[in-house]
Structures are given as C-alpha cells and as structure tokens.
Amino acid sequence: MVSVLKKTAPRILFAALILSLGLALPGQAQQQDQIDRSFATALIRDILTAVNHGNWTGNYTVLRDYAASDFSEANDPTRLAGLFAPVREAGLDMLPIMVTPPTILQAQATAGNTQMRLMGYFPLQPRHISFDMVLVREKARWVLLDISVGEFAPIEPRETEPQAEPEPETAGDE
C-alpha cells in the first residue's frame, strides 16, 4: 500500500476493521457530515484515474497539479513517481474501477465541511483495490490532500448459517 504523506496502513486496516464490524462510536458520527454516495464515488474515481494515468505514463505532474496546494508543495513529480513505484511495478490497472461500484467504508466530512475522508475498496478480481484519501476544500472544490492506494486478496463473503425450518405438525401428534 502506498501513502503519499504518511504511512497509514496499520491505521487504515484497524479503521476498516472497526467500521466493517459496525463498532464506530455514535458520537463521532454526530460530529461529521455524511457525503452523498454518488458524489463520493465520483471523487474516488476521479482521483484514482489521475493516479492510474500517472502509473501508466510515469508522469505524476497532473496528479500533483490537480491536488491541494499543500500536497503539491510536499510532493514533486519525481517524489510521487517514487512513492507510487510499488503500485506501478505491481502492474495495478485501475481502469476497471470506472465500471465497478466501490465498497465505501467511510465517506464523511468534518463538521465545518472543510475536510473529507473517503476510505474503502473496489471488489475487483483477481485483487481488490483499496483506497484511503483525504480531501480539502480549496477554491470551492474538493482537492486531494493525502492518499493511500494498494491491492489485497479478495475478501471471502461471510456464509450465513441456514435457519432450521420448523417441523410440520401432523394431525396425530396431539
């Protein structure tokens, strides 16, 4: 997994586990605004498409220029190429995200609607693509501040135990 501004893999995995188990604190949800799913999906696809273009071309100038000013100042294209090298070398093709709905584990903005975090994955085969991104409002639009992208083995769907059917009553049982 690649993180542009800081290494967050253990924190991401822990947060994903907490969210997937439904153990998030109710007070925390009250302090944050929910993001419309279709808008969140559009932002995720938009940013990951820029990452994918950078991976295919080796040129991350557009990603850097398309992001928040703090992101641009912290990451020149050469640094971004180095940070995304593991994703590029793994041959992670993100084109299928354009037609696959993401599983969004978190899509919330701060109470002031100045920062947003989007976290989840695309359930692709043979490998899922994970993402964790932080966006900020700049010049009346949401722009990238931090991103982590990776791949992992598909998650096996949990099997539910079949419920026992009640035995039919017979007339002679009374």
Which CATH number covers residue 49?
A: 3.10.450.630
Q: How much is the pTM?
A: 0.71
Is residue 165 domain-resident?
A: no
Q: Which of 53, 56, 172 has its CA nearest to residue 64?
A: 53
Domain that holds residue 99: 2-20+27-155
Is residue 162 domain-resident?
A: no
Is residue 84 domain-resident?
A: yes
Is residue 43 domain-resident?
A: yes
Instruction: Rounding to the nearest 10 degrees, give the CA dihedral for residues 47, 51, 54, 59.
Output: 70
Is residue 163 domain-resident?
A: no
Is residue 161 domain-resident?
A: no
> How far is the C-alpha of 41 from the C-alpha of 112, rounded, in Å?
21
> Domains in the chain: how many in total?
1
Is residue 160 domain-resident?
A: no
Mean pLDDT in consecutive groups of 10 residues from the start of the chain, 174 residues: 45 38 38 79 96 94 95 95 93 92 94 92 94 96 96 77 60 57
Is residue 113 domain-resident?
A: yes
Q: Which of 51, 127, 62, 57 has its CA nearest to residue 84?
A: 51
